Every structure is written in structure tokens, then in C-alpha cells.
A = this chain, B = another copy of it.
């Protein structure tokens, strides 16, 4: 899968199902209705039945096509929707209008939730016209300041999702502001260490190189100018960012200046978790939903 349109094709006709916690408001439901109309997924809506019906009507959605589970309490609805995914009745969990903390607590509930051995982390799929193929960015949204061990889990989560995309042995660039190891900058140390762990087979299913600058991660010409002899440099499939601060600024720079399409997803649980942002446009919301349905 190298483009969002290929991703949509993969998901179509698979009869996927979303469990959505507290889907209130027109905007939230419009995205679900669009997914349904495009044959991507049906949704089980969990929360206050009255509010849900009102939202479906506001959005002009085909009410009879939705299953509603009445669970009006904030935590109650979140737990119920998580358990629908944990039990296999739905394929992905989606956050509606409720507090992120309550939602994630339910998603990670030991008994009913999607907790796995790993850490939850965030991935962005970015299709920029100038790059011409999907690249993955992680983690620019979830683990604020990951340490080395966290970064290993973030990479493992990324590799697992990459395999769903059919990316065999993905090339992972641990990016920083320079491609040299600088003892004063932890990001460059972690990047070099991850690269070393990759060479020793301690991180499997991928090839990691770092530190790499973003230029020499993405551009074969920039890599050649710097004389980098690397399987990853210039051809990165995955950009591992140092932390959320730098990763968020990097990803948003692409989102707001490039001709591009993108979506985001929380991975690392037993099933994907979709958390849309109010600021996302309709295309981004749908891309994110489809990422969760793969």
C-alpha cells in the first residue's frame, strides 16, 4: 500500500465495524456516515441514545443503518465501546465527544479494554505529492518524551502496522537535526543506539538508521551529498521522531505547507484506536478512520 487510494481499496468490502464512544455532534457523525456510504465500515454508536439520535438527524445520516448501545455515563460509554472491540464485535475503537483521559483509561482497562504488552503510540501516514508515496511518522502525538525503551516499543508498533500495509522490512530513519552523534543531544544518542540495536538483531522486522537529518532521510540526493552509505538514507518508509514536540512541529509543517493527504491512528493496543481532532478536515477524518480499519 503506497497511497491512500490503495488503502481505501484494501478496506472496501471487508465489512469492518467501528465502535464509537459518545459520537455527539454533526461533525463526528458526518465522518461515520461517509465511511458507511463508501462501503468502508458500519458503526456501533455507544452513549446517550437521545443525544446520538439527535446527532444522526443533524448530520442527515441513515438512522436505520446504525446500531445504538445506550450507555450514557462518560466512563460507562467509553468502557462499553472498548469492550465491543475487545470481544471482537467491532474492529476498531473510535473516540467521540468525551475527555481524552477518560477515553484512554477505558481503552486501556485491564478487564474490558485493549491493553496489550506494548505502549500506545501514535502514527501519522503522510502522502505528500513531492514524496510520491506514503511515509509513516511516529510518535508525534502520544508519548510526550519517550526514553530509549519507549522508542523500541514505538518502533515495534510501527513495524506491526507497516506489515498490515504490506511494507516488508521497512526502512526506519531515526531523525534529528543532524546526522552525527552529538553527546549534548539525547535525540542523536537514542537514534544511534536504536541503529546499533537494529544491527544486532535486537529490533526485528525492520532496518533502522540514525541519526539522520530529515533531508537525508527523505532525499537520495541530500544523502549522497553528505556521503551517507546507508540502506535507509534517502528512502525512509518510517520517520521516528525524537519526541512529540519536534514530531508535531515537523508533521504539521508538512500538513500546513505541502500538497498532501494524511491521517492519524493510535496503535499498540489489541486493536486500532481512532482519535480525530476538531481541526481535521473531512478528508483527514476519513483517512484516519480508514487507517483504523485496515
Contacts and interface: CB of A to CB of B under 8 A. Distances in A.
A218 interface: yes
Contacts of A144: 184-185
Given A245-B242, A246-B249, A252-B213, A279 B222 contact: yes
A255 B215 contact: yes
Interface string A208-237: 000001111011001001100000000000
Given A245-B242, A249-B175, A249-B177, A257 B130 contact: yes
A247 interface: yes
Nearest to A126: B257
B279 A214 contact: no
Interface in A120-134: 126, 128, 130-131
Copies of this chain present: 2
B279 A245 contact: no
A191 to B, nearest CB: 11
Interface string A132-148: 00000000100011000
Contacts of A256: 130-131, 214-215, 218-219, 222
Contacts of A282: none
Interface string A249-270: 1111111111110000000000
A39 to B, nearest CB: 29
Contacts of A254: 253-254, 257-258
A259 to B, nearest CB: 7
Nearest to A128: B257
Contacts of A213: 248, 252
A162 to B, nearest CB: 20
Nearest to A249: B250
24 contacts: A126-B257, A128-B257, A130-B257, A131-B256, A131-B257, A145-B184, A176-B249, A177-B244, A177-B248, A178-B248, A213-B252, A214-B249, A214-B252, A218-B257, A219-B256, A222-B256, A225-B279, A226-B278, A246-B246, A246-B249, A249-B250, A251-B253, A254-B258, A257-B257
